[in-house]
Structure 1
């Protein structure tokens, strides 16, 4: 059954969930505030997009290294240490903004540094979860984590950004710093069994361990096809998100309120997606649920790109949110279930690095497309890439795909209909 069992809230998972929700609340404040501050500093679409692009670039440079380190170290300790450092950095940035020293260079530096630290944190988090819940509960655990994050980060945080900016430009970043520190304390309090790791062979290096993760990802047809599709989608989403503030405020002329409404619609859709992701997987299988999600997202992007009305933007963003959550829950669960526990971090980093590499490219392409073809161009450009992603998923849903975990729902032969 693709749906799986519900995880127990008591103990480590409950604290990890709370930490993730608190941290996501602060992240959403910062993520929504950065482009609004950027457009105050420049009106060049390519420069605005570069802020988003540099927030993804560290995955290309350090993603594989972060996964290899995550498989070597105490993952819980790595997570709270990283959040402590990130909290201090964002607090310093808030101080700089409050003193009037904000600049495009400083925004880019912050985005780059935080994502560099995130390469270790995210891979450690993905590898830690199977130690807190049994494999049959991974799907439900991922759905609850992602749904809680969207509730806090989208529905609760995003609408507050315009209001907080009227209080002071530094306010969203101050709240983000506090959220990092609280999340660090929660993760530090988690007690978890140490994963069983075989002793590393004599002479083993980070390079050879990274190569092992890459080979494992490449050999699995389901993960390989999913990674390719996610790469194409991330190029499209990078183009859309990097220019969404321009789409809302200048193409639709809705102002900051319209941009905030679009982000809220996306978050609301994501929340709904969290509740249906497991049901979709139980009906059609995890791999086929990605195919469905990609097709609906393609149609949503076309709607946003051709209909010049705030309502079309809100409907499109809501549908994108629903299907993005369906995609993410099932993609992450597939990866965790089909990966040996000792190398989850490395397979996770290989997957994330390969797929996320499209986001900075997409952000820059989005800025270029918006400048050359109009501010609705990035949405249509993204629609084309999502269509190609759907096609690239076909190898993942063929009936002869071998199943590593009998409950992953990758093939129709193991799906409860």
Structure 2
């Protein structure tokens, strides 16, 4: 079959209305992110208290990626088959019950490393349904011209909550008890479920979802989503570029602490400074993404983001100074948010009605697969060539990805 619609850009965007569905979805995303960030920060500390086996400790984090590879495509197909709001609040209710039970287990000192791995795995399985449903739901809550702004506000808020509100609260909550962060996480899931369940049906939900053909199977519907992704030139190019870049990202993330504490000899304070710069840069990127897209278009925004990120990685891997890494990480984060916001918006704009869950799931599954592969490569390269080598490896991987994006520009 031939290519789908040509790579064209939408007109300038405008801000979504806070009243109604989007405001509640935004609040649910912020509340849920607060709890998720608490758990993500606290769980590795709990794992370290249970075992000193690096493989077991790493397994807790790995389970945050594995379900996307195993069930991401299924989650997208489910999101297209069912009422998306119902799928979201049910997933949050189940996650809330699971986290409440886990909090009780920690409180009773009945937890184990096996339980941590199992909980991390199940939570991410449920997340594949929730995230795909949320991506598919948003276009029915805001006008098409407001999608870019809506995505930017959602992602920016989540970054602010995670980096500057939730993570600093972890030591305070842990001082009150090892189970407290998980109990709070359970409560945020319950609050988010109530907010999502209360979403009002929009008067103009957009094009109705076309019913699947008689006898269609889940496997067939997943294949249909993959076919659309491959046939759409823009989405295919973005997916390939993101997958390649995520291999580099995996290498960088897995070795960043070694890069800062060993190669730069900056200690934990330096590592904290680099992470703070990343959080601040992501917020600035969220505020910048819509304006940049209005000026030069979404495809060009992603291309520019990749180009600047390549330069930031080169600086990070070649200038042996903490200030350079902090500045490079801030710039890298700004452009990373520009990339993410515009890629998500393009996916929503270019996916047919009733297929958005599957298309977005296909993109997520393929791009997430690059992260663990990159982590393994990063560890091997750092051991063989030095702690700064993964940043240079990431820059080298960004080059062909950015070159591929240049072919999408009209």
The answer as to whether partners of 1:87 and 1:177 remain within 8 angstroms in 2 is yes
**1:47/1:216 Cα in 2 relative to 1: closer, same or farther (>3 Å)?**
same
SS of 1:341 mapped into structure 2: coil
The answer as to whether partners of 2:67 and 2:121 remain within 8 angstroms in 1 is yes
Aligned position for 1:282: 294
> Which one of the candidate residues 157, 161, 171 is aligned to 2:170?
161
In structure 2, the gaps of 5 or more residues are 1-9
User: What CA distance in whole angstroms lies between the structure 2 residues aligned with 1:390 and 1:86?
Assistant: 38
Whether 1:26 and 2:38 are equivalent positions in the alignment is no
User: What CA distance in whole angstroms lies between the structure 1 residues aligned with 2:157 and 2:130?
Assistant: 18
The answer as to whether partners of 1:49 and 1:364 remain within 8 angstroms in 2 is no
Aligned position for 1:128: 137
The answer as to whether partners of 1:162 and 1:256 remain within 8 angstroms in 2 is no
> Which one of the candidate residues 318, 323, 334 is aligned to 2:346?
334
**1:131/1:203 Cα in 2 relative to 1: closer, same or farther (>3 Å)?**
same
Aligned position for 1:415: none
Whether 1:52 and 2:57 are equivalent positions in the alignment is no
Whether 1:343 and 2:355 are equivalent positions in the alignment is yes
Q: TM-score, normalised by structure 1?
A: 0.87
How far did residue 331 of structure 1 move? 0.2
Count of residues paired in the alignment? 398
Residue by residue, what CA displacement relative to the aligned partner does 1:101-128 show, whole Å, maximum 9, x if unpaired?
6655444333322211111111100110
Question: Could you tell which deviates more after superposition, 83-92 or 191-200?
Answer: 191-200
Q: TM-score, normalised by structure 2?
A: 0.88
User: What CA distance in whole angstroms lies between the structure 1 residues aligned with 2:31 and 2:374?
Assistant: 29
> Which one of the candidate residues 239, 255, 260 is aligned to 2:251?
239
Whether 1:179 and 2:188 are equivalent positions in the alignment is yes
SS of 2:354 mapped into structure 1: helix
User: What CA distance in whole angstroms lies between the structure 1 residues aligned with 2:276 and 2:266?
Assistant: 14
Aligned position for 1:78: 87
> Which one of the candidate residues 177, 190, 198 is aligned to 2:199?
190
How far did residue 376 of structure 1 move? 3.4
**1:310/1:104 Cα in 2 relative to 1: closer, same or farther (>3 Å)?**
farther
Question: Could you tell which deviates more after superposition, 19-28 or 86-95?
Answer: 86-95
CA RMSD of aligned residues (A): 2.5
> Which one of the candidate residues 57, 63, 73 is aligned to 1:64?
73
**1:196/1:265 Cα in 2 relative to 1: closer, same or farther (>3 Å)?**
same
Aligned position for 2:220: 208
